[in-house]
Chains A and B, each alone.
Chain A
């Protein structure tokens, strides 16, 4: 039980997917300008990663390994993720327009998101069992969402500050990310 908890904590704080592993920066810079969009993005990412990871894991161990074609895992995972996103978007469009308004527009962006593919690949290379896989697949996007929300609040404040012309927009956001990475590096050695 404590192993699972330390796995969760490590994925969220110590090896944070954005600040330590540099994944998910594209949507990080694009969606973090307002708090509402950051929240929508975060929830969509958590849902897609958990769902797609479970499907990829199942497909790998139930189809690829018995057939002996493990080298197809990259093609499999990216297609599974893309299919899952399409299916989810279709489902939400038909059955919940309100949900589509708040979350649905971020779904297409997540298909080519580095984070989803990396989590799916990590689940295999770390040789997790099913429970560990679910915990990890939830923890990583939770860490992403946490950093995204923090970042969005800082950026909203930055809008009203005086920034040199060359730094406006993404460069100053990256400097903020650097400072956040510095702050988060204090978590190393927690577990």
Chain B
């Protein structure tokens, strides 16, 4: 049980790190030209973890 748990935690950290790296890289790649105002079209739902949700825009303004 103990050795298995350590493997599991290490494994979780590895894939979480991979995801974090990809998320960060994606965050840094700029939108292609002409696509910046596409976000307005999506008015559907209140799923705030979706990046298109308006709540994300406020944070970006504060950070400058």
* Pair A112/B25 contact, Cβ less than 8 Å: no
The interface on chain B, measured as residues whose beta carbon lies within 8 A of the other chain's beta carbons, has a size of: 31
On whether the beta carbons of B45 and A26 are closer than 8 Å, the reply is yes
Complex alpha-carbon distance, A63 and B14, angstroms? 13
Chain B residues near A71 (CB-CB < 8 A):
8
Given contacts A86-B22, A105-B38, A112-B50, 16 further A-B contacts (CB under 8 A): A26-B45, A29-B45, A30-B44, A37-B41, A79-B16, A79-B19, A86-B25, A90-B22, A100-B31, A101-B35, A101-B38, A104-B35, A105-B52, A108-B50, A109-B50, A109-B52
CB contact between B29 and one of A63, A93, A109 (< 8 Å): that residue: A93
The 7 closest A-B pairs by CB, nearest first: A30-B44, A97-B32, A30-B45, A108-B51, A86-B22, A86-B26, A90-B26
Give the contact-size bracket for chain A.
20 to 34
Q: Give me the interface of A with B, judged by CB distance under 8 Å.
A: 26-27, 29-31, 33, 37, 63, 67-69, 71-72, 75-76, 79-80, 82-83, 86-87, 89-90, 93-94, 97, 100-101, 104-105, 108-109, 111-112
Please tell me if the beta carbons of A100 and B32 are within 8 angstroms of each other in the complex: yes
Say yes or no: A90-B32 contact (C-beta < 8 A), given A29-B45, A67-B7, A105-B52: no
Using Cβ atoms and an 8 Å threshold, which residues of chain A touch B22?
Answer: 83, 86-87, 90
Q: Assuming A105-B41, A112-B47, is B4 touching A69 (CB within 8 A)?
A: yes
Q: Is A100 a contact of B29 with CB atoms below 8 Å?
A: no
Residue in A closest to B27 when the chains form the complex, CB atoms: A86
Could you tell me if B25 and A90 are in contact, using CB atoms closer than 8 angstroms? Answer: yes
Question: Within the complex, what minimum Cβ distance (angstroms) separates B51 from chain A?
Answer: 4
Question: Are B44 and A29 neighbours in the complex by a CB distance under 8 Å?
Answer: yes
Q: Complex formed: what's the CA distance from A173 to B47 in Å?
A: 18
The answer to whether B52 touches A97 (Cβ under 8 A) is: no
Contact of B15 among A68, A79, A94 (CB under 8 A): A79
Give residues of chain B (28-54) contacting chain A, Cβ–Cβ below 8 Å.
29-35, 38-39, 41-42, 44-45, 47, 49-52
How many whole Å from A69's CB to the nearest CB in chain B? 5
